Structure 1
Amino acid sequence: MKRWGITIPLTGVPLLEHRALIERLPDLGYTDAWSAETAGTDAFSPLLLASQWAPQLRLGTAIVPVYTRGPGLLAMSAATLAEAAPERFVLGIGASSPVIVSGWNAAEFTEPYARSRDTLRFLRAALAGEKVTEQYPTFAVNRFKLERVPEKPPKVMLAALRPGMLRLAAKESDGAITNWLAPTDVPKIRAEVGPDLELVARVFVCPTEDKDAARALGRMLISSYLTVPVYAKFHDWLGRGERLKEMHELWAAGDRKGANAAIPDEVVDDLIVHGNPDACRERLQSYVDNGLSTPVLALLPTGGDPLAQVEALAPR
């Protein structure tokens, strides 16, 4: 195990109350802190705080949608973090989903592959300090140049699920970021990106020995996420389509309760890490053993003290 990450901020913990924990993360064995961006905090602010609280940590966004900021603003936000955390910040970008992009941010979700590719290419140039005037296939930029260019451009990683985007990540980015997979799925992802690219995955962890409670929470998350078309297609590709067929049918019919109940236990156990901290840690290690470079724990609420749980889940 070379890297061990945690998702910040933790659910239910006020942002400024993270300081004591984040200061301790390197001593606990954590190497990374990664943020997300849905409808909670933005992706950059928690990392800016963490950059000052724990200068040893690598910090990453997983992910910033390519549609919800203009290209120039995205470059400025990345450059700011790169200045605050020199050579320790990783910009993870991705297409996100129609709900987040269109439903919540009034942007048009079109051509996700092309928009991700074009944004990646723009960021490469902008973060290197170039003046960019370019008519990309999905947007145009005219005479943009950063006023504060990072001394060293941050790495840019790409969120990717299926072969096309995974291969783009391998060809043009510094790493691939994926989500919602089991340890046994990692070799299939690794086969697309090759042996050397950094592969990051957020892994949902529910540290409780109450299997029923963990599975109930897992079912709610699975039905919420895996009914999104991009994740449905991802799991079809991974081979779970038949096992999730009934869930999709009931969800489409408006039967949310039935859709949750239709998710087999083995699917929940594949995709949600649960058990006591030792069992969770062993399961997380299996992702690494199967080819994952960087597991990023996403702690699910169990009613326990999340700060203590982060400590208990630290690598051994």
Structure 2
Amino acid sequence: MNSPDPTAGQAAAPHRSGFACFVGRPNAGKSTLTNALVGTKVAITSNRPQTTRHSVRGIVHRDDAQLVLVDTPGLHKPRTLLGQRLNDVVRTTWAEVDAIGFCLPADQKIGPGDRFIAKELAQVKRTPKVAVVTKTDLADRETLTEQLIAVDQLGREAGIEWAEIVPVSAVSGEQVGLVADLLVPLLPEGPPLYPEGDLTDEPEQVMIAELIREAALEGVRDELPHSIAVVVEEMLPREDRPADRPLLDVHAFLYIERPSQKGIVIGPKGQRLKDVGTKARRQIEALLGTPVFLDLHVKVAKDWQRDPKQLRRLGF
């Protein structure tokens, strides 16, 4: 006689799909965590604050769910029109997602920036919030324990009831899967929103521009991160190539605000720009899976961060 199937009569768990975003002060590990969850690079990361400008969606495919991650700029006190627009993007996103993950680095004490965000988050009443203590690989056990207690306290002070508090290291991969496990139950039931295999809905040209900008940000002076914008003007397959040896021509402009910055970006005898091109080209080839010829030019767009017309032209 066959033994009864213990799962007989049990309905399969419903499939869930929806949107979540990570918030936190600049450089809190939001983009690195997005990339770790998706399993590939969809958000640019840099050790300089304020590198994320576009709301990149990374898509996590699971058997039971599809989790779409919206990567927003860090909320900060704006000093320019660009800064105000970035903050507007953040607040609009908070109102539209199904869950919010508030990233707080394990190795840094909670500061005024975190309290400012917590106060803002408390006003978004209906969206469940998970506190994600990032960069646990940089903190010892005692420091981590103190931070978890401090995060719990921060929620109480701000009037936020955390759905969960979870420590994670995106760099070592520790507990990355658990973050997804905690976010998925907060999503509504529904079919997948994107085809299997899609990792982002960001247009390729935007992602390529971001990879170039990431390469350009490395090793430049502190005043430059805000001043660099990248626009991909043209992407065309090289016509005279055989089918088994394709080559994609990518022509892009790096825009800076002042003529004095041009020399910093280009470097002595053009070496810096050449290095930027080499690094970005490797990343673009990895992204697209095809050989690339990358043509970079630097242009001055005077005070573009404060000029509405130029902001529109540069995609903000």
TM-score calculated relative to the size of structure 1: 0.35
TM-score calculated relative to the size of structure 2: 0.35
Identify the structure with the greater helix proportion: 1
